[in-house]
Amino acid sequence: MKEILIISGKGGTGKTTVTAALGDIAAKNKHIVLADADVDAANLELLLDPKIEQTYPFIGGKIAVIDRTSCIACGRCEEVCRFDAVSHSTEDTYTIDSAFCEGCGACVHQCPVEAIQIQSHQSGEWYRSSSSYGPLLHANLFPGEENSGKLVTQVKEDARTYGKEARAEILLIDGPPGIGCPVTAALSGVDSTVIVSEPTLTGFHDMKRVKAVADFFKIPTQLVINKSDLNPQIQKEMLGFADEIGMRLAGMIPYDEKIMAAQLQNRPITRSLPEEYLPLFTQMWIEISAGSNHN
């Protein structure tokens, strides 16, 4: 099973739109599995209309909790906490702010009266769903929770298992923005990545950063330019950059009112766009599969 991840660096360049369009096309003649690795703003489900078959709790959050009755307010916990999660509360005791506690346990071991314990809590859930494009693995990290990387890994592992069971040929993963932990978790072990960018200074800047991260993990990349022709000068520079470093261009999507209108429908844009747009996405998928097999 080939694993293809869609990333971007900058948010809002069209990762999810591209993932759903490619999924729609790929599903016509291949068995595919889809996964949404953008767990703190999961949007692929809005386009694929999945039917949830199984829901699993994600026990990712660990936090330290102080038992106020045994706390002697010595302040040792505040001293050792490197995350500024401990503070002196108005009553003569200390409290831990769950939003900032990373659950490292440094305070637990340093507390002279053993008043602190690590507690696990549910910080999200993940789902096995079916859709008319193939199975979808997706998740929902509760707002403000940590460990999005771990939940991404969970979703991907489940997608791999599911993919094997279903004898899928392709696993298509919608990635998160940025270059932080959920991105590195999403990159881990995939066969290739597609960077969806746009010809804007910011899009180009962030594309270079996420490309460097993909290189760091030695994962081959291909490029899709969305909103093409918005800025011909920057587009030329991007294409020059891609050419120089040997990054294949898999396709371009124009800045176009019909495409923007299609994005308002809650389905893959390939289902809403007029027929003349379809070859653009069919060709893009041919390029991407060729590029992924090539490696």
Q: Establish if 177 lies at the interface with other proteins (CB under 8 A).
A: yes
Nearer residue to other proteins within complex by CB, 1 or 252: 252
| Minimal distance, residue 212 CB to other proteins, in Å | 5
Number of residues that bind other proteins (CB under 8 A): 65
Binder of other proteins out of 67, 84, 157, 243 (CB under 8 A): 84
Nearer residue to other proteins within complex by CB, 192 or 235: 235
Q: Establish if 82 lies at the interface with other proteins (CB under 8 A).
A: yes
| Minimal distance, residue 285 CB to other proteins, in Å | 22
Binder of other proteins out of 1, 30, 43, 249 (CB under 8 A): 43
Q: Which 100-119 positions form the footprint of other proteins (CB under 8 A)?
A: 100, 102-106, 109-110, 118
Q: How do the residues of the chain divide into helix, strand and coil, expressed in percent and rounded to 5?
A: 40, 25, 35
Contact 71, 61 (CB under 8 A): no
To which H or E segment does residue 225 belong? strand 221-228
Q: Which 262-281 positions form the footprint of other proteins (CB under 8 A)?
A: 263-264, 266
Give me the DSSP letters along 115-139.
-EEEEEE--EEEEEEE-TTS-EEEE
Nearer residue to other proteins within complex by CB, 30 or 62: 62
Q: Establish if 213 lies at the interface with other proteins (CB under 8 A).
A: yes
The interaxial angle of helices 15-26 and 278-294, nearest 10 deg, is 90
Contact 79, 48 (CB under 8 A): no
Rounded distance between C-alpha atoms, residue 145 and residue 154, angstroms: 15
124 CA to centre of own chain: 15
Nearest to 3 by CA among 237, 283, 190, 234: 190
Nearest to 220 by CA among 193, 196, 248: 193
Nearer residue to other proteins within complex by CB, 82 or 167: 82
Q: List contacts with other proteins (CB under 8 A).
A: 8-13, 16, 38, 40-41, 43, 46, 62, 80, 82-84, 99-100, 102-106, 109-110, 118, 141, 143-146, 148-149, 176-184, 198-203, 205-206, 209, 212-213, 216, 227, 230-231, 233-234, 255, 260, 263-264, 266
